């Protein structure tokens, strides 16, 4: 079967990989000049990389780890010590750690929580631990039923002090979905906590050893091509053409010239687009179908990713850090954490600026000035006195509509990979799978989508006799 896939983020590339493995011919069309979607990255004039987002891989990412194994690139994941590390706003320049000892789950998680006395008091630990009991006993069913509540509402329901939010969950909520605990669905935080507490290495983190388009997307591309598939950049899907019965007749793609278009005919069609552009491309006759109508409730959340190159080392910590400050979320000194960005003498901080709603429209200079003010409180020793650290250069990458905003009630809006249209399928982190909006969710959705195409083979309209597009043409 020839399968046309629009979008070369992790979902589209994973879908193409698993289709190619099953003996089909995936034809991937990406709008932009770079692979990876939300893991895309570029090189500046000095050859330094800057990225759409600071990306962390977790031990709980079963599908992603399987993908690395299948591609033979497991050594590209740089695993860090099993810990969560937070800045201490009350004691600038210091850190508080949750260290997970080498014990089976959930003992290692419990020991990590009990062992940290900087952030939570004993009564807070006990009330929080009791609140988590239903999630641990009743599992995913309970976790999904909590999608009615925001995380703050869930804490109140369980009489857990508000201070637990201030100390831990503002940072965690911003890291998970770039929003605050009064907005995020309780399901999202409970899903993460469940994975972290139930799997020994669930919360262990790894950094990729370089830029994702080169170190992860490129091997996917090579794998797809080696099995007869193709991936074409700079080719946005413009329109979905339908047969009279409402099934897809072709994908109309933008051609190489400004006014040119190309109709791609295939046996099955996949949207691996983010939810916002997909909504704009839905053909009129589909809009009333419940699974597509529900998409109107899903919308990308704004986020800003920052890169700051300094003239000296600010920290030697080789790990992700939770800033616990009002504008920033998580950050890392990539000169320590990532082999491909290593610099023994100078720091490159990559930081996530969130929530970004009030900042996404502001100038890069204003965003950097506000960030520097927060960094002064995080690293006072480097930004006071006569010999202060100097910012050499910076890059700001704004994503106005990133992953879908996981507010209460969103779970039931997420569509299956199989749609009521017989030859049209969906992949993407927003589609229904248990890993929410993440790289793991994107990869899993791609595999589930490939499986759905295979499963629905019998119901696909017969495209014999229609003019096939040439998989080889325009191949890159």
Ligand X SMILES: Cc1cc2nc3c(=O)[nH]c(=O)nc-3n(C[C@H](O)[C@H](O)[C@H](O)COP(=O)(O)OP(=O)(O)OC[C@H]3O[C@@H](n4cnc5c(N)ncnc54)[C@H](O)[C@@H]3O)c2cc1C
Closer residue to ligand X in complex, CB, 151/331: 331
Task: State the minimum distance, in angstroms, from the CB of residue 465 to ligand X.
Answer: 27
In the three-class reduction of DSSP (H, G, I as helix; E, B as strand; rest coil), residue 400 is classed as: coil
Whether the Cβ atoms of residue 211 and residue 334 lie closer than 8 Å to each other: no
* Minimum separation from the CB atom of position 155 to ligand X (A): 24
**Alpha-carbon torsion (336, 172, 275, 76), positive or negative:** positive
CA angle, residues 442, 447, 448, in degrees to nearest 5? 95
Torsion sign across C-alpha atoms 130, 131, 135, 137: positive
**Minimum CB distance to ligand X, residue 145 (Å):** 24
> Which C-beta is closer to ligand X: that of 52 or that of 214?
52
Nearer to ligand X, 320 or 389 (CB): 320
Asked if 11 and 427 count as a contact pair (C-beta separation under 8 A), the reply is yes
Q: Which residue's CB is nearer to ligand X, number 31 or number 295?
A: 31
**C-beta closer to ligand X: residue 164 or 187:** 187
The Cα 275–Cα 70 span in angstroms is: 28
Q: Characterize 117-131 residue by residue with b for buried, 16 or more Cβ atoms within 10 angstroms of its Cβ, and e for exposed.
A: eebbeeebbebbeeb
- Segment holding 367, helix H or strand E: helix 364-378
Distances from the Cα of 310 to the Cα of 49, 54, 94, 306, 382, angstroms = 15, 18, 20, 13, 11
Classify 139 in phi/psi space as left (phi over 0), alpha (psi -120 to 50) or beta: left
Beta carbon nearer to ligand X, 37 or 120: 37
Q: How far is the CB of 272 from ligand X (least distance, A)?
A: 6
CB of 382 to ligand X, least distance (A): 25
- Report the candidate in 260, 257, 264 with the shortest Cα–Cα distance to residue 241: 264
Q: Which is nearer to ligand X, 190 or 254 (CB)?
A: 254
Q: Which positions touch ligand X (CB under 6 A)?
A: 6-12, 29-32, 37-39, 52-56, 236-237, 272-274, 277, 303, 305, 352, 399, 402-403, 428-429, 437-442
């Amino acid at each position: 079967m020839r399968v046309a896939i629009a979008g070369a983020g992790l979902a589209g590339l994973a879908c193409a990989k698993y289709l190619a493995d099953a003996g089909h011919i995936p034809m991937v069309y990406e709008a932009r000049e770079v692979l990876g979607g939300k893991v895309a990255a570029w090189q500046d004039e000095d050859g330094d990389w800057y990225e759409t987002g600071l990306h962390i891989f977790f031990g709980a990412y079963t599908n992603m780890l399987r993908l690395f194994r299948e591609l033979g690139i497991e050594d590209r994941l740089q695993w860090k010590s099993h810990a969560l590390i937070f800045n201490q706003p009350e004691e600038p320049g210091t850190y508080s750690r949750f260290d997970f000892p080498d014990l089976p789950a959930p003992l290692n998680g419990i020991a990590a929580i009990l062992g940290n006395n900087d952030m939570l008091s004993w009564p807070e630990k006990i009330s929080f631990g009791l609140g988590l009991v239903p999630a641990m006993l009743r599992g995913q069913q309970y976790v999904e039923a909590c999608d009615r509540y925001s995380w703050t509402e869930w804490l109140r329901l369980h009489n857990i002090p508000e201070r637990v939010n201030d100390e831990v969950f503002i940072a965690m909520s911003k890291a998970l979905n770039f929003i605050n605990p009064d907005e995020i669905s309780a399901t999202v935080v409970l899903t993460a906590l469940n994975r972290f507490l139930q799997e020994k290495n669930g919360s262990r983190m790894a950094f990729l050893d370089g830029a994702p388009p080169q170190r992860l997307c490129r091997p996917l591309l090579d794998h797809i091509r080696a099995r007869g598939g193709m991936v074409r950049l700079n080719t946005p899907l413009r329109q979905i053409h339908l047969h009279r019965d409402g099934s897809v007749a072709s994908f109309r793609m933008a051609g190489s010239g400004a006014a040119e278009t190309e109709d791609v005919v295939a046996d099955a069609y996949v949207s691996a687009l983010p939810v916002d552009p997909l909504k704009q491309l839905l053909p009129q006759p589909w809009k009333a179908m419940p699974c597509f109508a529900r998409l109107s409730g899903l919308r990308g959340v704004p986020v800003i990713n920052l890169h700051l190159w300094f003239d000296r080392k600010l920290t030697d910590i080789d790990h992700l850090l939770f800033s616990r400050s009002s504008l920033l979320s998580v950050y890392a000194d990539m000169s320590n954490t990532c082999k491909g960005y290593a610099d023994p003498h100078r720091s490159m901080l990559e930081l996530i600026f969130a929530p970004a709603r009030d900042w996404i429209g502001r100038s890069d200079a204003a965003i950097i000035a506000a960030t520097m003010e927060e960094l002064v409180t995080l690293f006072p020793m480097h930004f006071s006195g006569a010999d202060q650290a100097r910012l050499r250069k910076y890059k700001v990458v704004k994503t106005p509509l990133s992953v879908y905003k996981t507010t209460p009630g969103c779970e039931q809006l997420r569509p299956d990979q199989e749609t009521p249209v017989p030859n049209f399928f969906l992949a993407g982190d927003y589609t229904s799978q248990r890993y929410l909006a993440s790289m793991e969710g994107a990869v899993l959705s791609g595999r589930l989508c490939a499986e759905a195409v295979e499963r629905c083979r019998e119901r696909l309209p017969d495209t014999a006799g229609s003019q096939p597009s040439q998989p080889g043409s325009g191949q890159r």
